[in-house]
Structure 1
C-alpha cells in the first residue's frame, strides 16, 4: 500500500505533478524528501523554457541506480537528450523529454542520505518542499560556510590546473594548454555567478544583466598558435582569481607572485 498518501503538495504545473507522483509511486518508502527548486518555484519567473528542477533525497541505503531513474523517466516520455554527473552519494541527471505534444527539460539532483547531510551548503537555494522532510544537517558546514568553489580542496585543484596550463603552453602543447585555459575561465565564471547570486539574493536570472566580465576582454585576440598571448591571458586570469580569494577568504595567502615567477621561467 502506498505510504505517500495525500501529503503531496501540488503545483500549478501538470508535468511537475506527474513527475512527483511517478517518483513517489516508484520509490514508495525509499524517499525522505522531494523538493522543487529553480525558476518554477517563483511563477513570475517561469516561461516556456523553464526546466523542472527536482531534489530527491533518499533514505539510508535506498538511493537508486541511474538505470532505475532512466527507466522511470522513459515511461514519462521519449528521452531526446541526457547529461549525467556522478559524485559520491550524489547523482545529477538532466533530461530533455518529449512528453505528449511538448518538449520538457528535467534536472534531477539525487542525494543519498549521508551525502545530503554532508553537503556544504545551508540550503538548496530557493525551493519548495513538495513531499516529506529534509534530513536535518548537523555540523555539515565549513567554518565559513564557503560554497564548494571556495573550499580549500577546490582552490588547490584550481591552482594545480594553472601550473599544468603553464607547463603545457611552455612545451608548445597549445591544444591541451588551451583546453586547460578554457576550463579555468569556466571556473572563474562560476565565481562570477556566485557573486551575482549573492548580490541579487537569487539564483534565478531570467534575462541576465549584461554583466561585464573584464578578464575576458582580450578573449577575441587569442590565437591557438600564439603561446605568448595565451600565457598573458593566463596571467590575467590568475590575477583575478587570486584577488577574489583574497577578498573572500580572510586567512587566504596570495599565491599570485609564486605563480607569476613560475610562468616567467624560460
Structure 2
C-alpha cells in the first residue's frame, strides 16, 4: 500500500529530464486525496509535451524500468497526438503513462452502438460456420481455436452493453448483473473433439440469440443454416466412429 505516492517523485524526475515535457499530472485513483487507492490500484500519469509524443513515450518506457526495477509486461497504444504506455514491473507495480501533445484534441470516450453489435454478431456467425467446417474435416486444432473465439465475441458484446447502461467505458469494479456472463458461457464442456466443438458452437449461438432478442432484436436472424450444418457434422462424426465402435 502507498507505493504510488512513493513512486511518483521518480517519475517526475524522469519527466524533468525530457526537454519537451511541459507538465506531469496524476490521474485516476491516485489523484486528489487518493481516497480511491487500494492494493489493486495502478498509477496513472498524464505527461503533456510540446511535439511528437511517440519518441518521448518510448524513452520514458525504457527509463522507468531502469529507474524503478525490471519490467515484466507492457502494452502500447497511440494515435499521433497521444501515446499510451502501460508498464507492469516485476514487483507488480502498474504504471500507466499517457504522453499527449499540448493542445491536442481530447478524444471522448468511445461509444459503442448497434453497428458494433452488428459487427460482433457477423464475426461470431462467420467463426461459428468456419469452426464447423474445419471440424467436419477433422482439423480439430483450427476448429477448437475458432470455437473458443465465440465466447470471446459474446463477452465483448456484454462489455459494450454494460458501457451503454452505465454511460462509461471505465469500470473500477465489477459486481453487476453482467458478472454472471462468464458462468453462463462456461456452462458447456470445453471444445476438444468433434462433438464437444459442435456442442460448444450450439450453446454460444443460443446465447447470442438470447442477447440480441433482448438488446438488439433487429440484428437477430434465423440460425437454421448453422444448426443444419452442425447436425451434418455430428452425423459425419458418428458415421466415422461407428466401425471402430463395432470392432
Q: Which residue of 1 aligns with 2:226?
A: 259
Find the aligned partners of 2:41 and 2:212 in 1 and give their Cα distance.
Answer: 33
Q: Gaps spanning 5+ residues in structure 2: where? A: 234-247
Verify the 8 A CA contact 1:181 1:234 in the aligned structure 2. Answer: yes
> Max radius of gyration: which structure?
2
Verify the 8 A CA contact 1:95 1:107 in the aligned structure 2. Answer: yes
1:83 to 1:75, Cα distance in 2 relative to 1, 3 A: closer
Q: Which residue of 1 aligns with 2:88?
A: 96
Structure 1 position 258, deviation (Å) = 3.8
Verify the 8 A CA contact 1:94 1:106 in the aligned structure 2. Answer: yes
Task: Give the alignment's TM-score, normalised by structure 2.
Answer: 0.64
Q: Which residue of 1 aligns with 2:64?
A: 73
CA RMSD of aligned residues (A): 4.4
1:192 to 1:44, Cα distance in 2 relative to 1, 3 A: farther
> Does the residue aligned with 2:94 lie in a helix, a strand or coil?
strand
Point out the structure with the larger helix share.
2
Q: Select which of 207, 210, 231 maps to 2:198.
A: 231
Q: Select which of 190, 207, 222 maps to 1:240.
A: 207
1:52 correspondence with 2:43:
yes
Q: Gaps spanning 5+ residues in structure 1: where? A: 1-11, 114-131
Structure 1 position 237, deviation (Å) = 0.8
Find the aligned partners of 2:70 and 2:16 in 1 and give their Cα distance.
Answer: 20
Verify the 8 A CA contact 1:73 1:79 in the aligned structure 2. Answer: no
Q: Which residue of 1 aligns with 2:95?
A: 106
Structure 1 position 250, deviation (Å) = 6.6
1:166 correspondence with 2:132:
yes
Verify the 8 A CA contact 1:223 1:230 in the aligned structure 2. Answer: yes
Aligned residues: 226
Within 5 Å, which residues of 2 pair with 1:5-24?
13-15=4-6, 17-18=8-9, 21-22=12-13, 24=15
Q: Which residue of 2 aligns with 1:150?
A: 116
Task: Give the alignment's TM-score, normalised by structure 1.
Answer: 0.61
> Does the residue aligned with 1:50 lie in a helix, a strand or coil?
coil
Structure 1 position 240, deviation (Å) = 1.7
Structure 1 position 255, deviation (Å) = 6.0
1:263 to 1:250, Cα distance in 2 relative to 1, 3 A: same
